[in-house]
Amino acid sequence: MVVDFLSYSLIPLFSALAIPFIARKNKRLIELLSNVTLLSGLLNLSYILLSYLIKNNYETFTMDVYSFSMIFTIYLVGLSITFFSTHYGIENDTNPTSYYPLILIGVSAMSSIVIAQDIFTLYIFVEALSVVSFALITSDNSHTSIEASIKYFFLTFPASVLIIFGISILLLNHPNLDFSTIKDTSSKFLTIIALSMITVGFLIKSGIVPFHFWTPDVYQGAYSPISALLAGIITKIGGVYAIIKIGILISNSQLNYFISKILLLSGILSVLIGAFLAMIQKDFKRMLAYSSISQMGYIILAVATFTPLGIIAAVFHLINHATFKTVLFLNSACVEKQTGTTNILELKGLEHRMPTTAWTSIIAMMATAGIPPLSGFWSKLLIIVALWKNGNIYYAIIALIASIITLAYFMILQKKVFFGKLPEKFDGVKEAKFQLLIPVVVISGIIIFSGLFFDRVYSYLSRIV
Amino acid sequence: MNEIQNLILIPIILPLTAGVLTLMVRERTKYLKEFIAISTTLVSLFSSLTALKYVNSIGDINYECDWLGSFSLMQFRVDQLSAFILLSVSLFSFLISIYSISVKNKGNSKIFYFLLLLTQFQAAGVAVSDNLISMLFFWESMVIVLYLYIYISASTNSTRTTALKAFLINGVSDLALLIGIMILGYISNTFVMSEISKSKLIVSGWATIAYILLLTGTLTKAGAFPFHTWIPDAALNSNAAFMAYIPASIDKLLGIYFLTRITVFLYTLNHTMQLIVMGVGAITIIVAVMMAFIQTDYKRLLSYHAISQTGYMILGVGTLNPIGIAGGLFHMVNNAIYKSCLFMTSGAVERQTDTNNLEKLGGLFSKMPITAICFIISAAAISGIPPLNGFFSKELVYKGSLLTGYTIFFIAAEIGSIFTLASFLKLGHTVFFDKPSSSIENVKEAPLSMLIPMIILCILCIIFGFGAHFPIRHFISPSLISLGYISEELSGFHTDNLFLVALSVILIALTNHIFGYQRTNRAYKASDHIHHAPILKDIYEMAEKGYFDLYEIFKKIFRTFANFLFKIDRVFDSIIDYIPSNSSYKISETFSSVHSGVYSLYMFFIFSFAIIFVIYLGGIKW
């Protein structure tokens, strides 16, 4: 474990353990404790990050850039969810005494994942995260959320099986499961089998074709703020993070070729299938789920190149996508709360009544589609350039064409849901409470600014490799 | 820039700024716009007069200015011919700005005066430009002015159609001018007219094409056959101030100026081309005057005469000897004078009696005596009655055409004269002397602002007639010198054969008119015996319907072509719309049928693909 970041993992854990004892019945105290924990962590992290970004001088930056960025993203998304849940009115649906601690444990588990230095520790915390997420998905005890949780469990336990099998096989060769030893001896046959099983396991966990079947049902069925957490960070840290880590490790082994082929194939299929299926969806959240599949495909495509540019592109797209999906899912939660439906066929003309929700959603959608000068444009550009430079020209072209389809379905969504004439039944709809909008606006601001100041961000991220 | 250069810049820049100023003036001020226009054009007039004196005595005025980078310089060079044209342009702007104070149907007067000052700016720019591209810039911008003048005068459909017709015909001529100038610039490596004229071009190869294009362009602008069809329509649909200004004077001045430049200054024409030019002139004379003869609308009749007189100018310039060219130039300015005056009388009559129809007009001599006298003097001038100015310029044109050796042109010009006089006898008799019809009763004399320009122009007619040596010595001979010709003795009363021919022309026309009048006893029907003559009747009917109108013919052709292109565009449109969206929807629906939510299906997929992937990744060695 990287000792620098240990506190980021332990403090939410302690808060989570403290809440049932200290603040069992006092809802205000629970909210205060959880929000302040995450907020303090975020302020600390953003202070460090911004000071380096503004100075643009990384001589003294001794921490691992990848872990640092991941922890920053985890805290950002986590804080958004807790802050959102505070004002969303979760006490009607669930028990805050269990809800907030579960989120805090989730944050702690994710932080531990990203600071793990050997694969078994990584696996333990991934499992912890999964358990927490099973519970969180069913927060509001509705039929759809219980079905979603069951599907999530049953469709991702093969992943856990594969990963633990892979780790066991690794033990045959390396009694010490450190990442550095894996890197050194990664050309032996057993290591290759083990790493391939681990990769496939994490592919299942991140929702890549052909293992993506759980994604739409789970995202749609989960409790709305939790689907934001799920899509925003859990599937990323619990899935794609490890693949990128393995990618950084095995850059020069003969495993490269096969894994690269598989990852390219899965990636491009995810991009296409996610995009095509998203076009005909009638439910807002399900469409966002398919869009997630598509964007995860882009990340996997970038990792598949195993070049420094590809890794940087993958990490940047991961962070970006975390922000986009958080904004979109939180906004869909707002819309659902105000209008009572997430059916695209019924929603219309919401921009007149809910302007902030509408415009932040539009910014996030345009960023996902890759429109300059937002940050999504840069990350997509990096991915396509990395693919092209690596020689996978056809993949680059197909990815580029698929972004037209991305643009298409997001345009349809924007036009249908937010613009147009407001039907009479939505006349009484008001804008969501302004506290619900604060996290969304802040993250939209991050999207815009990291797009505008991309050169700073890039000089920061290029230190990953 | 020194004061001398200011002299030629004032008639250009001052009207432009004054025009913009006019636009900013509030609509409600009574006479501010007119005051601005009159004072500006008066200043331009004085400035161009001084410039002419300078150029005639001392030398050319030059001015150069960088414009559009190095692509084209705004080069102004005023030699004697340009100074002469500049003076005429400024004079007519001044007179029309006085005249249009009282014209009622000129449209929004703010825009009208802006257009008037803008026209002065553009016409002055054309007159002084040495660089062909800057000249084109000024001349092409007149197209918009032309359109707007007609458009604002009324808001009926026919007005808009006519405005569009004028715009299109002049726009096509601009295109011809542009291509011609480009070719000309390419083959002579320079766009500056004075440099091209140092080694004149011979009509062969590309130069021929350039000349034909330029000829087409300038003849369209001047209003010759067969591009004249917008002028009679404009006469019906717009006001007399516009007609007196642009088709009567400015168009002719600029068109014949450029015709002179290209025919004499820049090229040495060979025989065929000269015949073509003179032929166009002759055809214009005959066709237009035959059409004019039968008209029953005051302004329309006058407009056909304007087209016909253009033929004289073209014929004169095309003779390529100094007498003919002098005749052409002199006729140009004379025509401007008496044609404007005639249009002004028509405007006065229209204002006072509210009608243009010859059937209804009559007997206005007693009620509008000054207008009638101006009409009589201008009509006599246009018919070539000695000793007015028209006689002298026509005599020069006749002499010049005889000197070429082809008598057919001379005969055509004489026939034109006959019919000109006959139609003006008919017109004058009808409007001013015949019995009045019942619809016009309380008619008073036209207001002073209309009378003053008419009187000035009539005085000019008389001066240029009796003292014909004055304009010839000061305007025409210097222009000829600048073109490279030495002038001979050009004026004066010559009692030779031509004088007899002129007298016989007058007698024939009088006889014709009296014959026609006796047949029907009403003056406006005095032309009916020609109108209903056997072959001519059908030709006239076809002409009135527009069969000979090039513009109408082209409109029909373009309509079918546009329809055809539209059909092709629909095909492409449906391909691009239909195919991508439908195919992607089909793909989406196919995929989505697999994602049915059935857990066991999902599990099967996960297990099978996991096994396949692991085998592929790990142990492909079998």
Residues 6+ apart with CB under 8 A from B179: B213
Kindly identify which residue of chain B lies nearest to residue A290, measuring between CA atoms: B592
Q: Is B598 on the interface with A (CB under 8 A)?
A: no
Which residues from A are below 8 Å from B595, CB to CB? Answer: 213, 216, 277
Question: Would you call the peptide bond into B387 cis, given omega within 30 degrees of 0 as the criterion?
Answer: yes
- The token pair at B8 is 């030629």
How close does chain B come to A257, measured CA to CA in Å?
Answer: 9
d(Cα B392, Cα B328) in Å, to the nearest integer?
A: 11
Q: Is B618 on the interface with A (CB under 8 A)?
A: yes
- Closest by CA to B328, choosing from B313, B341, B309, is B313
- Closest by CA to B94, choosing from B25, B8, B35, B21, is B35
Q: Is A338 on the interface with B (CB under 8 A)?
A: no
pLDDT tens by residue, A337-358: 888 888 888 888 888 888 888 8
Reduced to 3 states, what is the DSSP secondary structure of residue B486? coil
- The token pair at B567 is 């059909």
- The token pair at A62 is 């001794």
Residue bearing the bigger pLDDT, B446 or A393: A393
Which residues from B are below 8 Å from A158, CB to CB? Answer: 606-607, 610
Token pair 């100075």 is found at A55
d(Cα B570, Cα B582) in Å, to the nearest integer?
A: 18
Exposure string of B488-505, with b = 16+ CB inside 10 Å and e = fewer, is: eebbeeeeeebeeebeeb
pLDDT tens by residue, A73-94: 999 999 999 999 988 887 777 8
d(Cα A158, Cα B67) in Å, to the nearest integer?
A: 77
Q: Is A192 on the interface with B (CB under 8 A)?
A: yes
Reduced to 3 states, what is the DSSP secondary structure of residue A433? coil
What pLDDT shows up at residue A131?
Answer: 93
- The token pair at A137 is 């998905």
d(Cα A155, Cα B607) in Å, to the nearest integer?
A: 10
Token pair 């004058």 is found at B428
What pLDDT shows up at residue A447?
Answer: 92
Provide Rg for chain B, Cα atoms: 31
Tell me the DSSP string of B160-202.
HHHHHHHHHHHHHHHHHHHHHHHHHHHHHS--BHHHHTTS-EE
Residues in A 211-240 with any Cβ partner in B closer than 8 A? 211, 213-214, 216-217
Asked whether the CA dihedral B577, B581, B583, B585 is positive or negative, the reply is negative
What pLDDT shows up at residue B489?
Answer: 61
How close does chain A come to B572, measured CA to CA in Å?
Answer: 21
Angle at A55 between CA A49 and CA A61, to 5 degrees: 55
Which residues from A are below 8 Å from B603, CB to CB? Answer: 154-155
A 10 A CB-CB count for B297 gives 17
Token pair 């020609």 is found at B530
A 10 A CB-CB count for B236 gives 14
d(Cα A291, Cα A395) in Å, to the nearest integer?
A: 19
Which residues from B are below 8 Å from A214, CB to CB? Answer: 602
What pLDDT shows up at residue A441?
Answer: 93
Q: Given an 8 Å threshold on Cβ–Cβ distance, is B595 in contact with A154?
A: no
Q: Is B604 on the interface with A (CB under 8 A)?
A: no
Reduced to 3 states, what is the DSSP secondary structure of residue A145? helix
Q: Indicate the range of A215-229, A322-336, B186-200 predicted with least confidence.
A: B186-200
Q: Is B583 on the interface with A (CB under 8 A)?
A: no
Reduced to 3 states, what is the DSSP secondary structure of residue A209? coil
pLDDT tens by residue, A266-282: 999 999 999 988 888 88
pLDDT tens by residue, A414-452: 888 888 888 887 777 888 788 888 999 999 999 999 898
- The token pair at A390 is 């690596």
The parts of chain B modelled with pLDDT lower than 50 are 622
Exposure string of A400-421, with b = 16+ CB inside 10 Å and e = fewer, is: bebbebbbbbbebbbebbbeee
The CB-side HSE value for B608 (13 A sphere, CA atoms) comes to: 8
- Closest by CA to A197, choosing from A155, A173, A161, A240, is A161
Query: What is the share, in percent, of chain A residues with pLDDT greater than 70?
Result: 97
| Out of B591, B603, B605, closest to residue A276 by CB | B591
Q: How many helices (H) and strands (E) does chain A have?
A: 20, 0
pLDDT tens by residue, A19-67: 888 877 778 888 888 899 999 999 998 998 888 888 777 777 777 888 8
d(Cα B302, Cα B232) in Å, to the nearest integer?
A: 9
Split into its structural domains, chain A has a count of 1
What pLDDT shows up at residue B50?
Answer: 85
A323: confidence class by pLDDT, cuts 50, 70, 90: very high
How close does chain B come to A37, measured CA to CA in Å?
Answer: 39
d(Cα A386, Cα A305) in Å, to the nearest integer?
A: 7
What pLDDT shows up at residue B622?
Answer: 43
| Out of A204, A216, A262, closest to residue B595 by CB | A216
pLDDT tens by residue, B272-305: 888 888 888 899 998 888 888 888 888 888 999 9
**Mean local confidence (pLDDT), A240-248:** 86
d(Cα B330, Cα A301) in Å, to the nearest integer?
A: 84
The ipTM estimated for the assembled molecules is: 0.76
What pLDDT shows up at residue B65?
Answer: 74
SS3 for A288-351, per residue? HHHHHHHHHHHHHHHHHCCCHHHHHHHHHHHHHHHHHHHHHHHHHHHHHHHHCCCECCCCCCCC
d(Cα A58, Cα A55) in Å, to the nearest integer?
A: 8
Residues facing B201 on adjacent strands: B267
Which residues from A are below 8 Å from B616, CB to CB? Answer: 258, 262
Q: Is A351 on the interface with B (CB under 8 A)?
A: no
Q: Are B460 and B341 in contact (CB under 8 A)?
A: no
Q: Are B177 and B213 in contact (CB under 8 A)?
A: yes
A381: confidence class by pLDDT, cuts 50, 70, 90: very high
pLDDT tens by residue, A113-167: 988 888 889 999 999 999 999 999 988 888 888 999 998 998 888 899 999 998 9
What pLDDT shows up at residue A28?
Answer: 85
What pLDDT shows up at residue B439?
Answer: 66
- The token pair at B180 is 């011609």
What pLDDT shows up at residue A3?
Answer: 67
What pLDDT shows up at residue B67?
Answer: 65
DSSP state of B104: S
| Out of A151, A204, A280, closest to residue B610 by CB | A204
As a whole number of Å, the end-to-end CA separation of chain B is 94
What pLDDT shows up at residue B514?
Answer: 81
Q: Where are the alpha helices (DSSP H) in B474-594?
A: 477-483, 497-520, 528-531, 534-545, 550-592
d(Cα B529, Cα A218) in Å, to the nearest integer?
A: 99
Which residues from B are below 8 Å from A193, CB to CB? Answer: 614, 617-619
Substitution target in B588, B591, B608 with the highest count of A β-carbons within 10 Å is B588
Q: Is B610 on the interface with A (CB under 8 A)?
A: yes
pLDDT higher than 80, residue A181: no
Exposure string of B200-235, with b = 16+ CB inside 10 Å and e = fewer, is: ebebeeebbebbebbbbbbbbbbbbbebbbbbbbbb
Most confident of A2-11, A177-186, B206-215: B206-215
A 10 A CB-CB count for B570 gives 10
Domain of A380, in residue numbers: 3-461
Kind plus residue range of the DSSP H or E element containing B451: helix B448-466
d(Cα A256, Cα A169) in Å, to the nearest integer?
A: 19
Tell me the DSSP string of B39-96.
HHHHHHHHHHHHHHHHHHHT--EEEEEEETTTTEEEEEEE-HHHHHHHHHHHHHHHHH
Please count the residue pairs, one from chain A and one from chain B, whose beta carbons lie less than 8 angstroms apart: 75
Substitution target in A147, A152, A199, A213 with the highest count of B β-carbons within 10 Å is A213
Ranges assigned E (strand) in B325-460: none
Q: How many residues does chain A have?
A: 465
What pLDDT shows up at residue B107?
Answer: 75
The CB-side HSE value for B298 (13 A sphere, CA atoms) comes to: 30
Q: Is B613 on the interface with A (CB under 8 A)?
A: yes
Helix axes A393-413, A255-279, angle to 10 degrees: 30
Angle at A212 between CA A214 and CA A364, to 5 degrees: 95
Q: Is A200 on the interface with B (CB under 8 A)?
A: yes
Asked whether the CA dihedral B220, B225, B227, B228 is positive or negative, the reply is positive
